[in-house]
Structure formats: C-alpha cells, structure tokens
Amino acid sequence: METTKQGQVQWEPTARRVRAYLGGRPVADTVRALLVWENPYYPTYYLPLADVEDGLLKPTGETDHSPSRGDAEVHSVGGREGAALVYTDSPIEALRGTVRLDWAAMDAWFEEDEEIFVHPRSPYTRVDILPSSRHVRVEVDGVTVADSRNARILFETGLPPRYYLPKTDVRLDLLEPTDTVTHCPYKGTAAYWTVNGQKDLAWSYPTPLLESHRVAGLICFYNEKLDIYLDGELQERTQTKFS
C-alpha cells in the first residue's frame, strides 16, 4: 500500500475488512477503510460515510477543528454523544466523505473476523519474541529484584527491548499487585505490580494474544524507570513515551 503524507497527517488504504459494532448491531462495515496517523505512534480508522449504517449518525450541530484535517461535523452514534466526526470538506482530499468513529465509544471492532483492541495495528510495527540465555539483572534503588538467564526478549518497533523474566527468577516478595490494567493491540491485557515501593514498575500478560504467547505469565520491568544490567553492563534508560 502507498502511504501519503500531508503536514503532520499520514494515511494509506488497507485491504482489510473493517467493522465496528455498538449495542449488538453493526455501525460500519467496509473494505475501503483508511489508516490515518493523527500522531506518530499509532493509526486510527477513517471509514467511508457510505459504509455506515443508515440512520445511526445524528448531527449535534457542533464542529471539531483540526489545524491539519480541517473542520469536522460532530455526530452522535446510536445515542452516544460526540462519537463520530464527519469530514465533508477536509483540506486533505482523501478524508473528504469519511467518518472517524471514536474507538472507545464503540463496543467492538473487527479486522476481518478477528476482534481488535485499543487501536488498529500498524503495518509498520513488528513484535518479535526471542528466547535468550543472556544474563539479565534488574535493580531498583540498588536492590536486585530479578536475576535471570532464561529471558524472553521482546523487540517491538520504536521501543527498547523488553526483558520478560520467569517469576521464579523474580523477587516476588518485593512485588505488590496494583489495580492498573492496560491494553495493547499486539500483546493483549496487562496487569501491574508495585516494585520495592514504586508503583507500576513491572507488568505481565497472563493471557496474551496468540502472536505474543511466548511472554504469557512472565514479568517485565520498565527500562525507562529502573536499572537493567545485560551481561553485567548497565543499560541506558531510553527516553520513550513511557518515561
């Protein structure tokens, strides 16, 4: 697929069938969706207005202005206020006649027949998980909280390597579960721990998505927020959106 960019906005068509559901009924069903990067981290879907079910969109009379995408008419969707932006006259020609459904306002999204979560998966993000016997040691404020030679290293585009470690190699007495839960379109739903008194420094995917099953039940620590030694060498605390 050819990617096009205008200003800070990037977009490209996708060959995948895309469906959004609300209240048990389809809101949109299209094979003509656009992947649109409104920010550099991940895309969202813009769908042809013609592929939205008749009668579900109701204009609110309000508009939403974007310096790059122009003015959109705000619509409610099936009674959910402000759940859709309709672009009838965007300065970006490809967006004219499309609707941007608020991801969280929908009950479910599907690519083909597989449900997807959080946001569309970028075709330029890759996740590789490799077993490694390299020596990984994790310190928090000078205290060793994990020491392993049986890591699974997860390489994800745009992020530092993540070291997923067996629980038997982690000082579980220094971990306390929190109520934090996050979702990843590539890995699934994560649970978190406070580590040595610092909240949400570690996480795990108890039941990850199929493509990330190799990290199931393993524990990972934020490279950005603590000290990780790889084969005895202290790793740099890389600056990311999680720093």
Q: Mind listing the domains of the chain with CATH numbers?
A: 4-116 (2.170.150.40), 127-234 (2.170.150.40)
Residue 31's CB is within 10 A of a number of other CB atoms, namely 13
Residues 106, 168: Cα–Cα separation, whole Å: 40
Residues 9, 239: Cα–Cα separation, whole Å: 24
Over the chain, what is the mean pLDDT?
Answer: 94
Residues 136, 11: Cα–Cα separation, whole Å: 39
SS3 169: helix
Can you give the pLDDT at residue 240? 84
Spatial CA neighbour of 100 closest among 30, 6, 16: 30
Percent composition of the chain: helix, strand, coil (DSSP 3-state, to 5): 5, 55, 40
Can you give the pLDDT at residue 6? 75
- Residue 243 or residue 211, greater confidence: 211
- Asked if residues 46 and 99 have their Cβ atoms less than 8 Å apart, the reply is yes
- Tokens 């490799």 identify what position? 130
Residues 138, 120: Cα–Cα separation, whole Å: 33
- Asked if residues 141 and 166 have their Cβ atoms less than 8 Å apart, the reply is no
Tokens representing residue 90 in the block:
């965007």
Confidence of residue 19 (pLDDT cuts 50, 70, 90): very high
- Read off the DSSP letter of residue 18: E
Instruction: Answer yes or no: is pLDDT of 56 > 90.
Output: yes
Mean pLDDT of 200-223: 96
Instruction: Answer yes or no: is pLDDT of 88 > 80.
Output: yes
